[in-house]
């Protein structure tokens, strides 16, 4: 293995980092990724699939996305136009004028033709620093196919509120698998939660946290996100509860404001 032009080479091909994002109405967060990716000192590409998927397979418990959230199965908040403006070079964008057959179909479109390297999922509202991404790449580039890394996140439930407990909502044991060593015979069998067709080494979040690999997840940061989740997930009363949560000061039991929760998760000011 040698280096040429700042890229790692194995034989004649660079070990590529493929970042993928599936998105509908990702503003304002989707605009924040590219500038950070452009700081990377490793070979990378960003593949984005935008649109609406059927609630089937691993998301069959969700609701059909109401028409008010899309136009011709594309974003209505400026995401579609923004993605068109950045497409080219390291950025590949795919959208279509019809439903995708579930979230797995969207991921398959994003990873079409990817047979090796490191693959990382970065959702529109998940924020990483370039040096963290490079650390993930270094950990996985020489690993066996199917090797997986899991992470903790700072899970925001308001612009200035986040979950502070590390068990339960936002930190369930099966969550935040976000990076994998890829291979020709590797594929996803589930998106929620992410699972591969092969079992291999797992670097758990207790380890990655000690390496500083914790990302910021703005999942419920702004009201528009909460309104969509109430419609898509069927969380009745979520918007009203979220508004009340924003009025609180200090730590509170999140289940008192998010009606779909029944655990002991705690949110606090940040």
Is the full-model pTM beyond 0.85?
yes
pLDDT category of residue 219 using cuts at 50, 70 and 90: very high
Question: Using one digit for the tens of pLDDT, what is the confidence trace for 9-52?
Answer: 444 568 999 999 999 999 999 999 999 999 999 999 999 999 99
The pLDDT, as a whole number, for residue 59 is: 84
Residue 190, helix vs strand vs coil: strand
CB 21 within 8 A of CB 128: no
CA 102 from centre of chain = 16
Tell me the C-alpha distance between 151 and 62, whole Å. Answer: 25
Q: What percent of the chain has pLDDT over 70?
A: 95
Residues contacting residue 166 through CB under 8 Å, at least 6 positions apart = 152
Span 92-98, average pLDDT: 95
Tell me the C-alpha distance between 157 and 267, whole Å. Answer: 8
Tell me the C-alpha distance between 39 and 91, whole Å. Answer: 14
Task: Flag whether pLDDT at 269 surpasses 90.
Answer: yes
The pLDDT, as a whole number, for residue 55 is: 87
Tell me the C-alpha distance between 198 and 186, whole Å. Answer: 7
Span 170-174, average pLDDT: 92
Task: Flag whether pLDDT at 1 surpasses 70.
Answer: no
Task: Flag whether pLDDT at 4 surpasses 70.
Answer: no
The pLDDT, as a whole number, for residue 12 is: 53
Task: Flag whether pLDDT at 205 surpasses 50.
Answer: yes
Domains observed in the chain: 2-222 (3.90.550)
Task: Flag whether pLDDT at 6 surpasses 90.
Answer: no
Question: Using one digit for the tens of pLDDT, what is the confidence trace for 111-145?
Answer: 999 999 999 999 999 999 999 999 999 999 999 99
């Amino acid at each position: 293995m040698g280096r040429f032009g700042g890229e790692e080479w194995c034989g004649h091909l660079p070990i590529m980092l493929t970042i993928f994002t599936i998105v509908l109405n990702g503003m304002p967060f989707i605009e924040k990724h590219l500038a950070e990716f452009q700081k990377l000192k490793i070979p990378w590409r960003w593949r984005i699939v935008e649109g609406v998927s059927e609630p089937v397979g691993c998301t069959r418990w969700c609701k059909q996305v109401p028409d008010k959230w899309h136009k011709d199965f594309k974003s209505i908040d400026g995401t579609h136009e923004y993605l068109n403006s950045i497409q080219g070079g390291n950025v590949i964008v795919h959208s279509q004028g019809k439903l995708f057959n579930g979230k797995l179909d969207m991921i398959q479109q994003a990873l079409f033709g990817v047979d090796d390297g490191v693959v990382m999922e970065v959702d529109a509202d998940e924020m990483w620093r370039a040096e963290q991404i490079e650390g993930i790449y270094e950990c996985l580039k020489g690993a066996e196919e199917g090797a997986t890394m899991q992470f903790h996140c700072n899970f925001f439930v308001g612009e200035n509120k986040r979950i502070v407990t590390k068990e339960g909502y936002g930190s369930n044991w099966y969550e935040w698998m976000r990076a994998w060593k890829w291979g020709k015979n590797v594929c996803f069998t589930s998106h929620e939660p992410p699972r591969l067709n092969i079992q291999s080494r797992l670097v758990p979040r207790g380890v990655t946290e000690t390496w500083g690999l914790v990302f910021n997840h703005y999942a419920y940061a702004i009201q528009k996100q909460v309104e969509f989740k109430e419609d898509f997930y069927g969380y009745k009363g979520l918007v009203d509860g979220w508004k009340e949560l924003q009025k609180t000061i200090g730590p509170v039991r999140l289940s008192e404001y998010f009606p779909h929760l029944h655990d002991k998760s705690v949110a606090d000011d940040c």
